Amino acid sequence: MTQILGILNVTPDSFSDGGLWLDREAAVRHALGMVARGADIIDVGGESTRPGAQRVAVSEEKRRVLPVVRELVDKGVTVSVDTMNAATAAAALDAGAAIVNDVSGGLADPEMDDVVIESGARFVVMHWRAHLDKTHPPARYDDVVAEVVGEIEYRVAELIVKGAHPDRLIVDPGLGFSKNADHNWTVLAHLDRLAALGLPVLIGASRKRFLGELVPGGAQLGERDLASAVVAALAAHEGVWGVRVHDVSTTRTALEVAAAWNRGKDGRR
């Protein structure tokens, strides 16, 4: 079954839920609610990666993230930490996090590779070209699928040469990062090319702008949840390892439908 990563942003400026979960108790309650609704993993982030967001000091990121990680781990929740900073990743792993989800794939901080390799934690390697805190990098590709897959493959190879074990790596095509809507849809339509690398695939489409362009009222982020769940179901049908989402309930229903569809296809009861 495809894993659901429930998004928990303990930030004031994330594009969807910035400011909602800055209080530790509120953040933990929300995370436990997502688990009750079907989240398998809670992905805790203390720095927004939306276009135009400013970088956050590592000390502030750790102040936001670590108390939440510790409490969730103490309550038996599997936690992923969403960070580009090696020091934050190391501290979160020490606090019990199981996964490092780095939108830069380890490229933003030269110490990240050593942290994840030495810890043995699972590591999400996302396709990334540059920080979004300044001008959004141009979304220019001659062949977006070939280039995204090729760049991820190269980064994975670098990590393996340094000592990472392939079974600890997860790949993510980075929807919306240096990609326009057409690029996103093209990548999604060719997930088989990414899966051919032989590594688990994580998809993060939830509430992103390219989905809002499709639905009435799409400027309102909550109106994008149905489209997000449809993408999750289609991705699950393609065999992805996980989907990172805001609305866990709708996603869980969509994944149950996809799983039933696949059972029917295989003739299983």
What whole-number distance in Å separates Cα of residue 227 and Cα of residue 82?
23
Measured CA to CA, the distance from residue 145 to residue 189 in angstroms comes to 9
CA–CA dist 215, 98 (Å, integer) = 36
- Answer yes or no: are the C-beta atoms of 104 and 81 closer than 8 Å: no
Q: How far apart are CA 211 and CA 224, in angstroms?
A: 6
Gap between the Cα atoms of 152 and 173, Å rounded: 8
pTM (whole model) above 0.85:
yes
AA identity, residue 175: L
Distance (Å, whole) CA 41 – CA 267: 30
| pLDDT per residue rounded down to tens, the chain (269 residues) | 899 999 999 987 444 554 565 688 889 999 999 999 999 999 999 987 666 556 789 999 999 999 999 999 999 999 999 999 999 999 999 999 999 999 999 999 999 999 999 999 999 999 998 765 555 556 789 999 999 999 999 999 999 999 999 999 999 999 999 899 999 999 999 999 999 999 999 999 999 989 989 888 767 777 899 999 999 999 999 999 999 999 999 999 999 999 998 888 777 55
**What φ, ψ does residue 229 adopt, rounded to 5°?**
-70, -35
| Look-up of token digits 């910035």 | 18
pLDDT digits (tens, 9 = 90+) for 50-103: 665 567 899 999 999 999 999 999 999 999 999 999 999 999 999 999 999 999
As annotated, the active-site residues are 208, 244
d(CA 41, CA 100): 12
